[in-house]
Structure 1
Amino acid sequence: MTVALMWEARAVAGRGEELLAWARAQEPADLPSSPGGRTRRLLRRETFRAPEDRVLVITWWDAAYDAELPELPEPDGELVTRAVHRWRFESLGAEA
């Protein structure tokens, strides 16, 4: 199964590039095999930016939906305007 983790934050006005650099420096690593022997492997990572100094990171994992996966942490409170928003999704496949 492929699981996507989404992480979205909004920087303090004028600090969007700093937040983007911070997010890019965070490196989720592959985790060891679960007790059942299945590896939770990072398949892909993509980083986005949007107006109003927003940064979005999506990571795709080969893992069970409820697997323990490394999440990007909260940035320093002085860098963001609010708590990070996080979502978890199960991939239903890509379409052309």
Structure 2
Amino acid sequence: MTVALMWEARAAQGRGGELLAWARAQHPSGSPLRRETFRAPQDRVLLITWWDAPYDADLPELPDPPSDLVSRPVHRWRFESVGED
């Protein structure tokens, strides 16, 4: 089974570049099948990692960034693949 972990944060005003750099520098233990980082308006940063693991597996999550770098708590989601279309 493939599990995707999504991590999304919104930077404090004007700190989007710093948040993006911070997220890209984080390397929790383990080796995901794939890792991709995105950015969006309003200084949002999204990181998705794909893992070959059961849905409820204990997988390494990206930590919370320093509180002065974000404007709200980090959002996290977990999804399981249902195949490609």
- Gap regions ≥5 residues in structure 1: 31-40
Offset from partner CA, 1:32-68 (integer Å, 9 cap, x none): xxxxxxxxx5100010000000000000000000000
What is the TM-score normalised by the length of structure 2? 0.96
Would you say 1:45 and 2:35 are equivalent positions? yes
Corresponding position of 2:58 = 68
CA contact (8 A) 1:6 1:56 kept: yes
Identity of aligned residues (%): 75
Task: Please give the alpha-carbon distance, in whole angstroms, between the structure 2 residues aligned to 1:43 and 1:94.
Answer: 16
Q: 2:29 — aligned with what? A: 29
Give structure 2 stretches of 5+ with no counterpart: none
Matched, 1:78 2:74: no
Alignment of 1:4 onto 2:15: no
Quote the Cα distance in structure 1 between the aligned partners of 2:2 and 2:14. Answer: 35
Count of residues in correspondence between the two structures: 85
TM-score by length of 1: 0.85
1:16 maps to what in 2?
Answer: 16
Q: Which consecutive aligned stretches of 4+ in structure 1 deviate over 2 angstroms post-superposition?
A: none
